Amino acid sequence: MIRLDDYIPIVGPAVVGQLYRLAEHLGTHRLVNINSTRTGGGVAEILSRVVPLLNQLGIETLWEVIEGDQLFFETTKAMHNALQGQKVYFSPEMLEHYEQINRTNAPKFNWQADLVIVHDPQPAFLINEMRSQAKHWVWRCHIDISRPYRSIWKFLQQTVSEYDASVFSMPRFSQNLEHPQYIIYPSIDPLSEKNRELSPEEIQAVLDRLGIERDKPIILQVSRFDSFKDPLGVIQAFRLVRRHTPCKLLLVGGEATDDPEGPKIFAAVQEAASGEPDIQVLMLPSDSHYEVNAIQRAADIILQKSVREGFGLTVTEAMWKGKPVIGGAVGGIVLQLQDYYNGFLVHTPEGCAFRIRYLLHRPQLGRRLGQVAREFVRDHFLITRTLRDYLTLMILVENPDSRMFEL
């Protein structure tokens, strides 16, 4: 089992020591998290790492998952899209069903807690049933809600206002809400199967098993098959590069149980990639953390060409592995990548193609950007920082009037 002290060689003793002091300051506490899937996507990725570590710090931390049927997840995926700016029509039946599923889930869990953190819109209406059971409620929004489709935000806003506070991934996502709003940047766990160091033999074994050849430089994008991740734009960029420079494109994705759109986008990607031997599309099981780690480490350039993005953990993962990363200049990706400093930001498939070629012709620059990227992640986006923020959040929510506390 990974111990908190195992992080000392990576972040230093002061960072870990501060976590112990914050936890001691809180004393006995019970925290309940609820989201909509145990595997697939960034929220599950973070919770799977944060929950055991908070328990180690003495905070009794639970992770529950709301259960729903197909209509529920179609509705919540549509909400997700609408909150990220797409114009979507919701029928009264869809919204009623959404509320109904929240109502039927409410009694399934034990809400006796000092704090309940509700992640994203899927379980947001649970508070309407269970408010009095827990001392405090926080809504943690992980998506890019900077320009939401107004009608759906209006629908949610009333309930979100019932929470004691909201947490967003960057300042631009904050909303017109009466209660305090906090910023917590997501993070990765450097000791997880997804991110721990691997030997060249381990990496090669995974590539052999999955039939990935290293005969040409590998351009990689790992992400759910979701239109906001712009896999078709990636293929377009790749085709532009391929005309002049030999390379191959690897699109790796997995399913998330709360994302019913995946198969449709996967089919569109396969269709767009057909007849192109240098494009490989892989659908992996959602718990293929070790495999994704190895593939990321084998790649020469990593893309995350999203057109909307809450944060983009795949960017963080790639930066931590010292890779040159090209990301769409949207959402949380701009918090992570700075042009020419630790990677590149792009706005179009053409811009992406230009940067891929630029890096393919300058492998030394790629290595330099990757080294800076790794240190940038060490300073800002490792799990120890999220743990600190969660502990601080608990203190702040419970002491809304105190501006300072001693450690």
> Is residue 262 a contact point for ligand UDP (CB under 6 A)?
no
Q: Is the dihedral of CA 282, 288, 291, 296 positive or negative?
A: positive
Q: How is residue 392 annotated by DSSP?
A: H
Of the candidate residues 23, 126, 299, 313, the single one contacting ligand UDP (CB under 6 A)? 313
Q: Which is nearer to ligand UDP, 206 or 292 (CB)?
A: 292
- Write phi, then psi, for 315 (nearest 5 degrees): -65, -50
Q: Which is nearer to ligand UDP, 254 or 260 (CB)?
A: 254
Closest of 290, 336, 283, 340 to residue 309, by C-alpha: 336
Q: 349-360 and 363-380 are packed helices; what angle lies between their axes, rounded to 10 degrees?
A: 110
Q: Which is nearer to ligand UDP, 327 or 370 (CB)?
A: 327
Minimum gap (Å) between residue 39 Cβ and ligand UDP: 8
Q: Kind of pairing, strands 136-140 and 181-183?
A: unpaired
Q: Kind of pairing, strands 218-222 and 301-304?
A: parallel
> Is residue 73 a contact point for ligand UDP (CB under 6 A)?
no
Of the candidate residues 149, 311, 344, 390, the single one contacting ligand UDP (CB under 6 A)? 311
Encoding tokens for residue 271?
A: 């269709």
Stretch of 170-178, 211-219, 246-254, 390-398 contacting ligand UDP, by CB under 6 A: 246-254
Stretch of 5-13, 168-176, 250-258, 394-402 contacting ligand UDP, by CB under 6 A: 250-258
Minimum gap (Å) between residue 127 Cβ and ligand UDP: 23
> Is residue 337 a contact point for ligand UDP (CB under 6 A)?
no
Q: Which is nearer to ligand UDP, 16 or 82 (CB)?
A: 82
Burial 155-189 (b: 16+ CB within 10 A, else e): bbeebbeebbbbbbbbeebbbeeeeebbebbbbbb
> Is residue 121 a contact point for ligand UDP (CB under 6 A)?
no
Minimum gap (Å) between residue 126 Cβ and ligand UDP: 21
Q: Which is nearer to ligand UDP, 81 or 314 (CB)?
A: 314
Of the candidate residues 284, 334, 372, 395, the single one contacting ligand UDP (CB under 6 A)? 284
Site for ligand UDP in 347-386 (CB under 6 A): none
Closest of 366, 329, 45, 373 to residue 218, by C-alpha: 366
Site string for ligand UDP, 186-205 (x = CB under 6 A): --------x-----------
Stretch of 4-12, 75-83, 111-119, 311-319 contacting ligand UDP, by CB under 6 A: 311-319
Site for ligand UDP in 91-110 (CB under 6 A): none
Residue 212 buriedness (CB in 10 A; 0-12 / 13-18 / 19+): buried
Site string for ligand UDP, 31-50 (x = CB under 6 A): ----------xx--x-----
> Is residue 317 a contact point for ligand UDP (CB under 6 A)?
yes
Encoding tokens for residue 176?
A: 């017109």
- Write phi, then psi, for 14 (nearest 5 degrees): -65, -40
Q: Which is nearer to ligand UDP, 106 or 337 (CB)?
A: 337
Residues 187 and 385 sit within 8 Å (Cβ to Cβ): yes
> Is residue 254 a contact point for ligand UDP (CB under 6 A)?
yes
Under 8 Å CB-to-CB from 404, ≥6 apart: which residues?
A: none
Residues 93 and 100 sit within 8 Å (Cβ to Cβ): no
| Binding interface with ligand UDP (CB under 6 A) | 41-42, 45, 194, 222-224, 252-254, 284, 288-289, 292, 311-314, 317
